[in-house]
Structure 1
Amino acid sequence: MTCTLGLRLSQLTAFTALFIVPLTLKAQQWDTIERIETTSSRIATSSEAKGYVVSSISDDTLSMLSFQHIQESLNYVAGATVQRGNGQEYLPALRSPVLTGAGACGGILAAEDGIPLRAAGFCNINELFEAHGEMAQHIDVIKGPASALYGSNAIHGVINVVTPDTTYDDGLLVFDYGSFGFTRAKFRQGKDFGENADGIKSGVGINASITRDTGYRNDESVDQEKVNVRHRYENQQLLVTSGLTYTHLDQDTAGYIEGFESYKDEVIARANPNPEAFRQATSFRLWSKLDMAWGKGHALSVTPYLRNQDMRFRMHFLPGTPLETNAQQGVGLLSQVNFVISPQFNIDTGFDAEFTTGDLLQYQQDATVGSPFLVETIPTGRHYDYSVDATLVAPYISVNWHSDAWTFALGGRYENMHYDYTNHMNAGREREDGTACGFGGCRYSRPPSGDNSFSNFSPKFSFSYDLMSSMRLYGGVSRGYRAPQATELYRLQRAQQVAELEAVTATNVELGLQGFAESGQYTLSFYSLRKDSVIYRDSDFFNVSDGKTWHRGIELGVSQRWADKWQFDFAGTFARHTYEHSQVANEVDIKGNDIDTAPKLQFNTRLSYDITHTIRTELEWQYVDNYFTDAENNNVYEGHDLLHARVSYKLSDTVTLYARINNLLDANYAERADYTTFTGPRYFPGRPRNVLLSASFVL
């Protein structure tokens, strides 16, 4: 194993040497940070973001891909891993193992147009299906707790789906048709009203998609609709951009298949052991972003927003398959002020706030099937029924200085999260009617009503140095955190009556090199992130926060064009993720073990060739290394290689046709591999070779 990993690391180093040298030969001024003001800064003129990188998946790349699941696009970001579940479900990783568990979604902040999709204490592991990635202008990724703009839930980074400004005179109509009953229609149209006699400019626009997918596996399907509406108002002093997003998902879900390498059996792979499973979800967000400038370059951005979500799904992965319904309604404010003190010195500061009401009900209608222990300890009726009022306040500041070659940013963010929890049924681990379960009590435990507060300060320091006009060195030290999620505090098990949890904290150190040229660019990053007070469920099934983990790795991203016809893109990572605390699992102390579902080497390579100025071809190779599927490191998934082929044909200035073959070699693989002591190996099987055709019309 050591020799193999050494060889793979040497291959990654070879990629570095091969592409960094040519890119430094012919240079231009190319700043990929400043243009992305919705992710790295709410104000485009701020220089606070120079010490870290925003990875961006462009509109052209997204059009060529036309992903059926957002996981396909995030493969293009070094250090990002998304394991697709069934339908629109997934489990994410960003400089981390694949995150699982009740509060795992708190490790990565998911946003649309800079606004978090969920409130900080009420995340959902699948929440990116509530963003309109199918019609995004670009998808941006920040890795690690780098920016003072983001607090709780951004320990491992931020994934931000940026929707287009549709308030100008442009339009688009796209039809997708694919294997296994996949169809989708996408529509975009805007109207620019120009400037009136009072010097006011305005415009409106819409961005919409409808998806239908009957699925590869038995009794699965996805019906999904998404729409963005946008309005723009501007005069000489003020720009107000307002947006509305609505999404709806109606999904019939297929669960895990079981048995060692069962994904290699076509009959088993298509089977659905959980035909009763489903997920129904709606989301609504309304926001208005006010931008204004005054004086000698001072700028202000203020964004109030309103958010509403509700979801129902069958918990097919639990004994008794209970039904969960959850909802949240809230309002919030994001702000930033950039004070320009001198040409070299400016200050970013702001205040973010949010108030959210969330509720959750877990209910089981039918008696549990299984062993006498399961039947007795998992009763019918309500398991949990609670509501939580959450208040978040977060001031932050960043002091920025830059010269011709150097840029420094020093600042921090203070955040206070307060939960007011109300239990709507009897406390403890009895049945809903108050009678006791056998074997010592019921599985599910409900704490009495109460309050919890968490306060954290996260300092940030970053720098960049222009080694030459074509190359810059960047780095920094930062602290991240996340407050415990409501489900970790109030959704207890066994004898635990109160969860005394601390906020998860992380210390990140990063050093990187970026190069820019007319023909392409590269980014090479080294990072080490240590997490403390990691929340997990111990051998007594108590939620505790005394875990420690260590995440370190090397990332390389390359985009290189040559001979005017060839394009090479590479995103790769070599990383190690380990447990750093003692915990006995099945008589094994896991300290020093690799965290399960954490492949060491992953990369995505794309090679494109322009046959003519109207015909473009692309071949993609996706590699996932083998990885352990249990914390004891006794079980392994072998990894996989996938090839995808694409071609686009521009018939005219307004019509483009696309054809794509996914899983070109028809490989048998698992989107996700897992292991439990109850089931043994289990998998979400990947789709066999499939085709997607598209026709795009510019209106």
Structure 2
Amino acid sequence: MRRSHLLPGLFLIAPALAVSANSVQESPLRIQETSLETVEVIGKLTHKGSVADSIAGATLDVDTIAQRVPTHPAELINGLPGIWISRGDGQEHLTAIRSPVLSGAGSCGAFAVLEGDIPVRGTGFCNVNQLSDLPLSQAGSVQVLRGPASVLYGSDAQHGVVRLLSAAPAETREVGVSLEGGANDYRRISTGVSDTIGRNGVRLGFSGSHDGGYKIDSGYDQQQFSARHDYRGDIWNTRTLVSISNLNQETAGYVTGLDAYRDSRRRRENPNPEAFRDSQSARLQTRFERATAAGNHWQITPYARHTEMAFLMHYLPGTPLEENGQRGAGIQASYDYRLGENLELLSGLDLEHTNARVRQTQESGFSSFPAGRQYDYQVAADVLAAFSNMDWLFAERSRFTLGARWESLRYDYDNQMLAGDTAEDGSQCINGFTGTEGCRYSRPDDRRDEFSNLSFNAGLAREFANNLSASLRLAHGFRAPQAGELYRLQNGQTVADLDSESIDSVELGLRKNSEGLGFSLTGFYMEKSDVIFQSSERLNLSGGQTRHYGVEYELDWGLAPQWALILAGTYARHQYTNNVSEPGSDTLIETRGNDIDTAPRHMHSLTLGWTPFAQTRVELQFQSMGSYYTDIENAHRYPGHDLLHLRLRQQVAPRINLGVRINNLANVDYAERADYSGLAGGDRYFIGEPRSVFGDVRFEF
């Protein structure tokens, strides 16, 4: 068992003083659906955030975050329409936004994960677990956008966006401490302080957590620090954000065997006790804002980021060790100006440079998996992008939007080893099963690659009486190949001749926002081309085609003064529209028309909130996950599951707040994610945890 501790003995808890006890009780749970008007969140939205209101999405406010006290991104975000954060072990996860759960080296490139408007990882160097870098429990709000948003957010916003918006500094001094404990020796402490003095406002937050792990030889320690400083000047205002995160995790892998999640003797099984993940990240950004006399606005945001990670790839033969890191800096600039009383234009320029490195090693070799270094390379990446978005109120209640973005991503790849599919010393591997020469991993020669893409969106929205509005949106998005898809090759491939994936989307929306009752209904159809996939010979290729269509809905209903109900969900199909092959198979498989694996056709959530007294808040959440295929041939299926969660928040004194959460209240046997691999034992599961109880207490001074 391996674990390093940055701050040993720390056990952590919820939002760093982000919420006052009174605000938690006085505001019932609300998930704010974006509409024609700007969503009101903690702190002023950025320029891009204001434009993003024309994109289907929802915002989880500070009261919802405080009620749920998330220990994992899935606990906060799941339940929104069209979204599934598939929970792995510890802080690991995969993401689906209007998509199947995507996996693989470049899958995370379909989703932009942002702090404000700044990506948490460099373009081309995403990580599937990057939501764990965000201090979600300390956020002012979390916004999730569904569908292509490439015009505003670039390459990594093909299917959707997750944005953390920081909590603004308090107007008067606030200090808070939260302590939490729960199942599997879980402990968390959170502290925070905030104040505004004159022109300066500050908010500091820290949380440190320890999880003993449900599985044998699993668990993690995590520490997160966030700071925000606001300055209100005579001409320029500034907002500076600092985020630092450390994760030391013992990782449990898949449990194999049909319906293994139903077997009580196997639920704590960990077939990979040697696996671990150590990850550190740090980010800094300062946004400069200025309003002109004519009412136009400048925003300029320089930023820098640094990440380091080491983890044992337990899902690969030989369990190689990967060590990677990236350092980067960039600047975003935008100008929001009016061309007339009813016409507004937002234009901007994004520049970014990233230096990244990857090293993969294995202690002992066998067959086509040699000992020693398998990959060792560096990549420098440069991004240049320009965008513009027009917003035209052409009639009293009618609005037209039109936007476009041009983006160029250039890679400069430097191989630190011998090129080809040899061992580190140049010797050939012999495959023990086929007797053929060639090592599994292949390294290209030094090279440069460049990808230029154009995206656009157009929208029409109309407001009617009784706060009812309808919208039509067309969008074309893209994602450039990730560095891992281009340079981590296999089976003798020397060049990955990949194109950027593209996506075309059309959606229709109907929304109503009024006191006591609100709803949204969105229908969408999307087609993707040049989808990057791995062939039967484990070659990275373009040329895949898929389609995605469905309906998303949300109903927010104040049943009575003390009762609130939120119903949300999606009915969708995610299908292959051409034939692809499963890695390791011999020929193309007839997949045209098949459901993509790990793509449930329906997901639903019902949340019932009850406030019997001003100091008491009770929330019962029901989540239903539909069945889905676990292989591309659609021969194996996971039946789905239904879960109940109960949350109670009680103010026991003016400055003391107690909370209790019970996850999986009905103690259902289920899998967080199911998978099928003929090469890895058949049916595989990340087994969901049984009924788990957590409690917390918050003090304010």
TM-score (norm 1): 0.92
Cα distance in 2, alignment partners of residues 51 and 404 from structure 1: 17
Q: 1:428 aligns with which of 420, 423, 433?
A: 420
Partner letter of residue 35 of structure 1?
Answer: E
Deviation of the 1:467 alpha carbon: 1.6
1:51 and 1:463 in contact (8 A); partners too = no
Partner letter of residue 612 of structure 2?
Answer: I
Q: 1:508 aligns with which of 502, 505, 508?
A: 505
Matched with 1:556 is 553
1:190 and 2:191 correspond: no
Q: 1:384 aligns with which of 375, 382, 393?
A: 375
Q: 1:599 to 1:145 in 2, by over 3 A?
A: same
Matched with 1:304 is 302
Q: 1:147 to 1:102 in 2, by over 3 A?
A: closer
Cα distance in 1, alignment partners of residues 645 and 699 from structure 2: 24
Q: 1:529 to 1:38 in 2, by over 3 A?
A: farther
Q: 1:400 aligns with which of 384, 391, 401?
A: 391
Matched with 2:17 is none
1:33 and 1:54 in contact (8 A); partners too = no
Partner letter of residue 262 of structure 1?
Answer: A
Partner letter of residue 669 of structure 1?
Answer: Y
Q: 1:560 to 1:221 in 2, by over 3 A?
A: same
Partner letter of residue 483 of structure 1?
Answer: A
Give per-residue Cα distances to partners, 1:227-255, cap 9 Å, x unaligned.
01121211232211111110000000111
Partner letter of residue 256 of structure 1?
Answer: Y
Cα distance in 1, alignment partners of residues 534 and 379 from structure 2: 22
Matched with 2:474 is 477
1:345 and 2:336 correspond: no
Partner letter of residue 56 of structure 2?
Answer: V
Matched with 1:128 is 131
2:42 and 2:140 in contact (8 A); partners too = no
Q: 1:427 to 1:537 in 2, by over 3 A?
A: same
Cα distance in 1, alignment partners of residues 651 and 596 from structure 2: 46
Q: 2:450 aligns with which of 448, 453, 471?
A: 453
Matched with 2:30 is none
With 459-468 and 355-364 compared, the bigger mean Cα shift is at 459-468
Cα distance in 1, alignment partners of residues 287 and 425 from structure 2: 50
Deviation of the 1:51 alpha carbon: 2.9
Partner letter of residue 85 of structure 1?
Answer: G
Deviation of the 1:214 alpha carbon: 0.3
Identity percentage over the alignment? Answer: 37
Deviation of the 1:469 alpha carbon: 4.2
Deviation of the 1:463 alpha carbon: 1.9
Matched with 2:241 is 243
Q: Which runs of 5+ in 2 are unaligned?
A: 1-33, 431-435
Q: 1:186 to 1:388 in 2, by over 3 A?
A: same
Partner letter of residue 47 of structure 2?
Answer: R
Cα distance in 1, alignment partners of residues 498 and 136 from structure 2: 34
Deviation of the 1:73 alpha carbon: 1.2
Query: What aligned pairs does 1:512-661 form with structure 2 within 5 A after superposition?
Result: 512-585=509-582, 588-661=589-662
Q: 1:43 to 1:527 in 2, by over 3 A?
A: closer
2:343 and 2:391 in contact (8 A); partners too = yes
SS in 1 for 2:270: coil
Cα distance in 2, alignment partners of residues 95 and 336 from structure 1: 29
Matched with 2:31 is none
Deviation of the 1:404 alpha carbon: 2.2
Matched with 1:276 is 274
Cα distance in 1, alignment partners of residues 466 and 339 from structure 2: 26
Deviation of the 1:434 alpha carbon: 0.4
1:52 and 1:462 in contact (8 A); partners too = no
Q: 1:661 to 1:577 in 2, by over 3 A?
A: same
Cα distance in 2, alignment partners of residues 158 and 282 from structure 1: 22
Matched with 2:253 is 255
Deviation of the 1:171 alpha carbon: 2.9
Deviation of the 1:37 alpha carbon: 9.6
CA RMSD, 1 decimal: 1.6
Give per-residue Cα distances to partners, 1:197-218, cap 9 Å, x unaligned.
xxxx112220111111001110
Deviation of the 1:50 alpha carbon: 4.9
SS in 2 for 1:64: helix
Matched with 2:363 is 365
Q: 1:386 to 1:30 in 2, by over 3 A?
A: closer
Cα distance in 1, alignment partners of residues 75 and 558 from structure 2: 22
SS in 2 for 1:266: coil
Matched with 2:440 is 443
Deviation of the 1:534 alpha carbon: 0.3
Deviation of the 1:38 alpha carbon: 8.3
SS in 1 for 2:267: helix
Q: 1:495 aligns with which of 489, 492, 495?
A: 492
SS in 2 for 1:267: coil
Give per-residue Cα distances to partners, 1:531-559, cap 9 Å, x unaligned.
11000001121100100010111000121
1:227 and 1:245 in contact (8 A); partners too = yes
Q: 2:402 aligns with which of 403, 407, 410?
A: 410
Q: 1:167 to 1:204 in 2, by over 3 A?
A: farther
Query: What aligned pairs does 1:143-162 form with structure 2 within 5 A after superposition?
Result: 143-146=146-149, 148-162=151-165
Instruction: Kindly tell me the number of residue pairs found equivalent between the two proteins.
Output: 656
Give per-residue Cα distances to partners, 1:44-66, cap 9 Å, x unaligned.
7x5x4453233111111111111
Cα distance in 2, alignment partners of residues 75 and 39 from structure 1: 25
Partner letter of residue 216 of structure 2?
Answer: N
With 174-183 and 482-491 compared, the bigger mean Cα shift is at 174-183
Deviation of the 1:475 alpha carbon: 2.1
Partner letter of residue 425 of structure 1?
Answer: M
Matched with 1:77 is 80
Q: 2:116 aligns with which of 89, 113, 117?
A: 113
Cα distance in 1, alignment partners of residues 379 and 44 from structure 2: 29
Cα distance in 2, alignment partners of residues 602 and 495 from structure 1: 41
Partner letter of residue 147 of structure 2?
Answer: G
SS in 1 for 2:603: strand
1:406 and 1:466 in contact (8 A); partners too = yes
Give per-residue Cα distances to partners, 1:105-157, cap 9 Å, x unaligned.
10111111221010110000000100001211111011111362111010101
Q: 1:51 to 1:37 in 2, by over 3 A?
A: farther
Matched with 1:96 is 99
Cα distance in 1, alignment partners of residues 48 and 639 from structure 2: 46
Deviation of the 1:43 alpha carbon: 6.3
Cα distance in 1, alignment partners of residues 38 and 476 from structure 2: 21
Matched with 1:684 is 686
Cα distance in 1, alignment partners of residues 104 and 56 from structure 2: 29
Cα distance in 2, alignment partners of residues 506 and 285 from structure 1: 30
Give per-residue Cα distances to partners, 1:361-382, cap 9 Å, x unaligned.
0000123xxxxxxx22001011
Cα distance in 2, alignment partners of residues 31 and 537 from structure 1: 41
Partner letter of residue 650 of structure 2?
Answer: Y
Q: 1:698 to 1:61 in 2, by over 3 A?
A: same
Cα distance in 2, alignment partners of residues 120 and 174 from structure 1: 36
Cα distance in 2, alignment partners of residues 513 and 91 from structure 1: 30
1:50 and 1:407 in contact (8 A); partners too = no
Partner letter of residue 283 of structure 2?
Answer: R
2:43 and 2:168 in contact (8 A); partners too = no
Matched with 1:698 is 700
Partner letter of residue 508 of structure 1?
Answer: S
1:362 and 1:384 in contact (8 A); partners too = yes
Q: 1:49 to 1:276 in 2, by over 3 A?
A: closer
With 578-587 and 229-238 compared, the bigger mean Cα shift is at 578-587
2:510 and 2:520 in contact (8 A); partners too = yes
With 572-581 and 159-168 compared, the bigger mean Cα shift is at 159-168
Deviation of the 1:34 alpha carbon: 4.3
SS in 2 for 1:589: coil
SS in 2 for 1:376: coil
TM-score (norm 2): 0.91
